[in-house]
Chain A
Amino acid sequence: MLKAKKLSVQQKYNIIRMAVAIGIGLAFAILVICLTTENPGKALKLFFTSPFILENGNFAPTHVKQLIQKIVPMLFTGSAVCIMFSANQFNLGLEGSFFMGGLVAAVSTLYILHGVPVLSPLLAIFLGGIAGLIVMLIPALLQRIVGADVMVSSLMMNYICRFIGVWILMDHIKDTTSSNYTLPLGLDASKPILHVLDGKGIFSTGLIYALLFVALAFVLLYKTRIGYYFRITGQNKNFAQYAGVSVVAVAMLSQLIGGFIGGVGGATYLLSFFQRYNWTELTGFGWDGVTIAIFAKNNPKNLPIAVLFIAYLRVGAYYMALSCGTMHEITDIVEGVIILFLLAEQFLFKTYKKMVFKEANERRAIEERKIAAGVK
């Protein structure tokens, strides 16, 4: 039998804090649903079961498909933010990277290499990644060269990307007979690489790509020297500098990798779930990446569970809103509340103190007993 590893006080405290934060968020959601819907029982049942089960109790493949459609992009943006936040880089341009990744993937599949199995989607995804990288590179370079605030310029980049995207779509690549759609991307050609498991219409190769990138992000951050540099720079920039880490290189590299993953995410998302390109608004997945990275404590290892949690909440809320006369936006509030309590250092601090004292007292008691036994 495997012996359960004994948890340190700190780990126990972290688990308690996370449980309490999620509990507060969910309790808030349940309370609001109970107070505001006519049939709270039905609403809550839908909220918690609809991602997998239809109202009549049968398995719901379309709901699961929707779940996966939310999980795939968030896994990408979550990994990207984990890497950037681990190195303490508050670049908020991921929204733009993701958007540009999708746009460039569309242009690539339509005009650069159309309809070649395997190669078309791979090239599109690669170019999407490069586009995402460039979007991040601009604010990062400006920060490096002239010291322009990276947060502000990256926020602006998001809007610039959106407007460039809409302009290219509307004035250049739109199918002239449609409102805002391009010609079909030709997914049939890319089936061998992208929709291998698409038999039942649930699974998507996009999910495999996403998990692959999560794994890569984990390996990078926790199993390589570069990742170690990222993390110590994030924890203590001065220490890292004195230890000989090039803080500048870390800042640049972490943002570029983040941007690349964001762009790959946008491209994969487009190729996996869209027949034609029609993005006119920012997707919001870039911001979700921040939420998810916080939930996962910046460790890609925790991403799948964090993403599943948020995607589950959202799909549940969506179907609840459809049939119970409420708004799915309630999940935004829940996420915001959970973020705040997860991050609140001082939250439950007294409990932590008590736990530390209790642990210390117990240890002392044991030692005293040992000493007493020794004396005897």
Chain B
Amino acid sequence: MEFWTNIGIVLSNPMFYFAVIRLAAPILFAAMGCIVAQKAGATNIGLEGIMLMSALTAVLVQAYTKSIALALIASVIVGILMGLFIALFALKLRVDIILVGIAVNLIGAGATAFVMFLATGDRTTTTSILIDFFPRLPIATSDVPFLNFIAQVFTGQSYLTYLAIVLVFVVAFFLYKTRLGLRIRAVGENPDAASSVGVSVIKTKTIALAISGLFGGLGGAFMTMEILPYFTKGMVQGRGFIALAACAMGSAAPGLTAITCVLFGFFYAFSNYARMLNIPDELISMLPYVVVIIGLVVVSISKNAKLKKRLSGGTAAKTKKN
């Protein structure tokens, strides 16, 4: 009984939902990056490494220049460069893109540890330099309890969090309403057809991977400009992979993927409260990964059902004709 009251307390706390959104944001950035690459037919498994590199870049650049804006720009540039790096090896030098991603993750883990030590002398955490968070929207209040609840959840977040939310719509618009977006989708769906009408497959995929890296860079910057004010080794903790999973679960559709990311945010936030609920926190921390697998199964089943329906519909039409 106490368990359910405690859950009630957690779920009625606006700060819990605040945390859900805040923790979903970095995954959202990376997942959007994953979507753009995926739509172009390239699986970007290197987002984990890209996020690590950008996170460190944000810390170092801010420490040296004292400018939050420059730090953000620098980490985005690092993301784009890594996206192009993946494109170079995967498209130009024809290495399997999954293996390029694995190599990028290796290089990202190694390079961040190494550069951190060179720049700060720290071996695991850059505690010698603490940086400022990205500015936050002031918290709004209201006299109406319901509105106040909403305000407590949605105001006071980092501006980067709002950027992540806006990005979902931007990516959806970009992919479905712009010429480049169309090309990206065409290249992903049928590269031969795309190239036969004069769309350069390599060029389009390269652009998609650069954009993917850009979003990954934003996700990495979010880690050190909102989640923690310093860099620690391996601080991304599989968020790049989680983004990949969110993208797979959301069938690479921006809206569905965003919902999946929020679900992850929910579980991340929930694991912070696990001790209070007397559930082993390892089991709560495990939930998001279990949910991915279940989600993948559900999505795949529904996809198969749709395909079957379409196929059987097709044969039905054919038999009618005959």
Q: Name A residues whose Cβ lies closer than 8 Å to a Cβ of B.
A: 32, 36, 90, 138-139, 142, 146-149, 151-153, 155-157, 159-160, 163-164, 166-167, 170-171, 287, 290-291, 294, 326-327, 329-337, 339-340, 343-347
Q: How many Cβ-Cβ contacts under 8 Å join chain A to chain B? A: 134
Q: What 1/0 flags go to B241-260 for Cβ under 8 Å of A?
A: 10011001000000000000
Q: Which of B107, B241, B300, B304 contacts A336 (CB 8 A)?
A: B107
Interface flag for B93 (CB, 8 Å): yes
Cβ < 8 Å to A, chain B residues 87-132: 89, 92-96, 98-100, 102-104, 106-107, 109-111, 113-114, 117-118, 123
Can you list 6 contacts pairing A with B, beta carbon distance less than 8 Å? A149-B248, A164-B282, A290-B102, A291-B102, A329-B110, A329-B113
Q: Which of A287, A327, A331 has the most CB of B within 10 A?
A: A327
Q: Are B109 and A329 in contact (CB-based, < 8 A)?
A: yes
Contact A340/B248 with A146-B301, A148-B300, A164-B286 known, Cβ cut-off 8 Å: no
CA distance A147 to B297 in the complex (A): 8
Bound-complex Cα distance A157 to B296 (A):
13
Decide if B297 touches A343 in the complex (CB within 8 Å).
Answer: no
CA distance A151 to B244 in the complex (A): 10
A147 touches B114 (CB 8 A): no
- Contact, CB under 8 Å: A147 / B304: yes
Residues of chain B with a CB closer than 8 A to A337's CB: 103, 107
Expressed in whole angstroms, the minimum distance between the Cβ of A180 and any Cβ of chain B is: 12
Q: Find A147's partner among B106, B123, B303 (CB 8 Å cutoff).
A: B303
Given A146-B297, A164-B286: A336 touches B110 (CB 8 Å cut-off)? yes
Q: Among the listed A148, A151, A329, which residue makes an inter-chain contact with B98, where contact means beta carbons less than 8 Å apart?
A: A151
Residues on B with C-beta less than 8 A from A339 are 99, 102-103, 106
- Name the 3 nearest CB pairs between A and B, nearest first: A332-B110, A163-B286, A336-B107
Q: B314 — which chain A residues lie within 8 A by C-beta?
A: none
Residues of A contacting B299 in the complex (Cβ-Cβ under 8 angstroms)? 148
Contact stretch, chosen from B58-66, B137-145, B186-194, B287-295: B287-295
- B residues in contact with A142, CB < 8 Å: 293, 296-297, 300
- Known contacts A159-B286, A160-B289, A345-B93; 12 additional CB pairs below 8 A are A142-B296, A142-B297, A148-B293, A148-B299, A151-B43, A155-B244, A156-B245, A160-B293, A170-B280, A287-B106, A333-B106, A344-B89
Residues of A within 8 A of B155 (CB): none
A157 to B301, CA, bound (A): 20
A335 touches B248 (CB 8 A): no
Q: Chain B nearest CB: distance from A370 CB in Å?
A: 39
Contact check, B102 vs A156: say whether CB atoms are below 8 A apart.
Answer: no
Residues of B contacting A167 with CB < 8 Å?
Answer: 280, 282-283, 286
- Determine if A344 and B296 form an interchain contact, defined as CB atoms under 8 angstroms apart: no
Is the Cβ of B104 less than 8 Å from the Cβ of A336?
Answer: yes
| Contacting residues, chain B, for A287 (C-beta < 8 A) | 102, 106
Residues from chain B with a CB closer than 8 A to the CB of A156 are 241, 245, 289-290, 292-293
For chain B, the bracket of interface size reads 35 or more
For A159, the chain B residues whose CB sits under 8 A away are 238, 286, 289
A153, B104: Cβ atoms under 8 Å? no
Bound-state CA distance A290–B106 (Å) is: 11
Cα of A90 to Cα of B93 in the assembled complex, Å: 20
CB of B285 within 8 Å of the partner chain = yes
User: Most chain-A Cβ atoms within 10 A of its Cβ — which of B114, B283, B304?
Assistant: B114
Q: What residues of chain B lie closer than 8 Å to A138, measured between beta carbons?
A: 293
Q: Which residues of B contact A166 (CB under 8 A)?
A: 282
Knowing A152-B245, A332-B106 touch, does A345 contact B95 (C-beta < 8 A)? yes
The CA-CA distance from A346 to B90 in the complex, in Å, is 10
Which of B114, B123, B280, B303 sits near A333, CB closer than 8 Å? B114
Chain A residues with CB under 8 A of B99: 290, 294, 339, 343
CB–CB B286/A160 < 8 A: yes
- CA separation between A152 and B295, bound complex, in Å? 11
Chain B neighbourhood of A327, CB < 8 A: 113-114, 117, 123
276-322 of chain B: CB within 8 A of chain A:
280, 282-283, 285-286, 289-290, 292-293, 296-297, 299-301, 303-304
Give chain B nearest CB distance to A42 CB in angstroms: 18
Given contacts A155-B245, A163-B283, are A340 and B100 in contact (CB under 8 A)? yes
Q: How far is the CA of A326 from the CA of B110 in the complex (A)?
A: 12
Task: Let me know if B296 and A155 touch, CB within 8 A.
Answer: no
Task: For B248, give the chain A residue with the smallest CB separation.
Answer: A152
Q: Which residues of B contact A344 (CB under 8 A)?
A: 89, 93-95
When distances are taken between beta carbons in the complex, the residues of chain B under 8 Å from A329 are 109-111, 113-114
CB distance from B41 to the nearest CB of A (A): 14
Report the separation of the CA atoms of residues A294 and B102 in the bound assembly, to the nearest whole angstrom.
11
Contact in complex: A340, B117 (CB < 8 Å): no
Q: How far is the CA of A142 from the CA of B297 in the complex (A)?
A: 7
CB distance from B264 to the nearest CB of A (A): 12
Partner pick for A340 among B43, B103, B241, B297, CB 8 A cutoff: B103
Q: How far is A222 from B237 in the complex, measured between Cα atoms in Å?
A: 39
Q: Check if B283 sits within 8 Å of A332, measured CB to CB.
A: no
Tell me which residues across on chain B come within 8 A of A334, comparing CB atoms. 110
Instruction: List residues of chain A with CB within 8 A of the CB of B111.
Output: 329, 332-333
Which residue among A138, A147, A329, A344 has the maximum number of chain B CB atoms within 10 Å of its CB?
A: A329
- Shortest CB-to-CB span from B270 to chain A, Å, is 14
| Shortest distance between the CB of A63 and any CB in chain B (Å) | 21
CB B316 to nearest CB in A, in angstroms, measures 23
CB distance from A234 to the nearest CB of B (A): 12
Closest residue of chain B to A166, judged by CB?
B282
CB-based nearest A residue for B284? A163
Assembly CA distance A23 to B304 (angstroms): 48
Nearest Cβ on chain A to B39's Cβ, whole angstroms? 15
A244 CB, min distance to chain B CBs, angstroms: 26
Complex contact B280–A340 (CB within 8 A)? no
CB distance from A344 to the nearest CB of B (A): 4
- Assess the A170–B110 pair: CB atoms within 8 A: no
Contact A345 B289 (CB under 8 A): no
Q: Which residue of B lies closest to A326 (CB)?
A: B117
Of the candidates B95, B282, B292, the one whose C-beta lies within 8 Å of that of A170 is: B282
Task: Give complex CA distance A90, B244 in Å.
Answer: 15
Which residue of B is nearest A154, CB measured? B293
A163 partner residues in chain B, CB cutoff 8 A: 282-283, 285-286, 289
Which residue of chain A has the shortest Cβ distance to B49 in the bound complex? A336
